[in-house]
């Protein structure tokens, strides 16, 4: 069940990592107010998450979803409740591969992952912000175990839309030929995961965009890339996810030192990009703007 609106080309521009730091929060708000960003994903366990909530409450045009964190971040539940998935300080593994293997093979870990997912959803809902959608930090929501947990919780907690992380590899390489081996490997992994995920989401009446960009270009959504991407958008709803921020920022430097977040912020607010959106007759929308075919 994909997302549908009335015009032919719609674009959700989502800023990930909302709540990571004041600089990230400010960057996302700036890209929304002065650029093309329409949506963001909140990390409810990140250092500046409360500030992010206050900013979102003061900017009702910004749609907010949950950026589920089960790797490279802190847990919502106390460490003694999550001994199989966090360290004694309540931190998840920094290695997504090792974390994913643990979640898949350990029954104890799977039970604790479910409890943590539920805790993060409830922490989001307490803010009073409408839950626009759910995605995952490092796309952990695409992990089969995590996805199944989210599907179990979807009806109870009103999860109506999710990100499906799969990207047109040919288009990605045409836009930027760098890092082709890494992009091909990502494509193999996420194409398989997304095929299984789409079937499950449709069966459970959960909406998702028709297409996505940002996976292969994470941390380098620059102006040239955007100006090349916009004419390539097809009919339907496309999500572009990105990571804008003002710099310097200690959290950004620690977690994503190779990401060009200030470049992304500049690109999202570029007059040339905004003009291209208008010239291509692309409707900027959010997850909350969209309704599934069955609604």
Q: Quote the pLDDT of residue 103.
A: 97
Query: How far is Cα 67 from Cα 156, in angstroms, rounded to an integer?
Result: 18
Q: Is 240 helix (H, G, I), strand (E, B) or coil?
A: strand
Q: Quote the pLDDT of residue 290.
A: 79
Residue 6: pLDDT above 80? Answer: no
CB distance 103 to 143 below 8 Å: yes
| Cβ-Cβ contacts under 8 Å for 197 (sequence gap 6 or more) | 142, 147, 164
Residue 187: pLDDT above 70? Answer: yes
Region 232-257 average pLDDT? 97
Q: Quote the pLDDT of residue 7.
A: 58
Q: What is the DSSP annotation of 34-73? A: HSS--EEEE-TTSTTHHHHHHHHHT-TTSEEEEEE-SSSS
pLDDT digits 0-9 by tens, 221-237: 999 999 999 999 999 99
CB distance 71 to 99 below 8 Å: yes
Q: Quote the pLDDT of residue 1.
A: 47
CATH of the domain at 113: 3.20.20.370
Residue 69: pLDDT above 90? Answer: yes
Region 84-111 average pLDDT? 97
- Residue ranges making up the domain that contains 268: 3-292
Place 182 in a pLDDT band, splitting at 50, 70 and 90.
very high
pLDDT digits 0-9 by tens, 129-170: 999 999 999 999 999 999 999 999 999 999 999 999 999 999
Please give the tally of structural domains in the chain: 1
| Cβ-Cβ contacts under 8 Å for 126 (sequence gap 6 or more) | none
How confident is the prediction for the chain on average, in pLDDT?
A: 95
Q: Quote the pLDDT of residue 292.
A: 42
Query: How far is Cα 174 from Cα 156, in angstroms, rounded to an integer?
Result: 42
CB distance 44 to 124 below 8 Å: yes
Residue 279: pLDDT above 50? Answer: yes
The model's pTM is 0.95
Place 71 in a pLDDT band, splitting at 50, 70 and 90.
very high
CB distance 268 to 221 below 8 Å: yes
Query: How far is Cα 209 from Cα 83, in angstroms, rounded to an integer?
Result: 36
Residue 255: pLDDT above 90? Answer: yes
Query: How far is Cα 87 from Cα 157, in angstroms, rounded to an integer?
Result: 28
Region 32-48 average pLDDT? 98
Token pair listed for 222? 């620059």
């Amino acid at each position: 069940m994909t997302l549908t609106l009335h015009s032919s080309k719609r674009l959700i521009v989502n800023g990930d990592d909302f709540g990571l730091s004041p600089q990230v929060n400010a960057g996302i708000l700036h890209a929304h107010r002065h650029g093309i960003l329409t949506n963001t994903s909140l990390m409810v366990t990140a250092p500046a998450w409360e500030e992010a909530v206050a900013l979102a409450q003061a900017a009702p045009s910004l749609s907010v979803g949950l950026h589920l964190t089960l790797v490279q971040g802190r847990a919502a539940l106390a460490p003694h409740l999550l001994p199989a998935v966090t360290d004694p300080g309540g931190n998840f593994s920094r290695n997504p591969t090792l974390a994913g293997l643990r979640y898949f093979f350990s029954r104890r870990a799977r039970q604790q992952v479910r409890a943590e997912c539920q805790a993060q959803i409830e922490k989001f809902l307490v803010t009073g912000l409408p839950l626009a959608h759910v995605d995952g930090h490092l796309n952990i929501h695409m992990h089969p175990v995590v996805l199944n947990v989210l599907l179990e919780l979807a009806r109870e907690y009103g999860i109506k839309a999710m990100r499906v992380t799969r990207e047109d590899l040919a288009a990605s390489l045409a836009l930027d030929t760098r890092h082709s081996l890494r992009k091909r490997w990502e494509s193999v992994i996420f194409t398989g995961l997304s095929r299984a995920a789409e079937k499950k989401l449709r069966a459970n009446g959960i909406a998702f965009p028709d297409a996505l960009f940002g996976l292969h270009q994470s941390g380098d959504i620059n102006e040239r890339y955007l100006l090349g991407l916009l004419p390539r958008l097809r009919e339907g709803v496309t999500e572009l996810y990105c990571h804008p921020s003002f710099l310097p920022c200690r959290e950004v430097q620690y977690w994503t030192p190779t990401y060009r977040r200030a470049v992304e912020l500049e690109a999202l607010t570029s007059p040339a990009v905004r003009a291209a959106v208008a010239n291509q007759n692309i409707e900027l929308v959010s997850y909350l703007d969209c309704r599934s075919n069955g609604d």
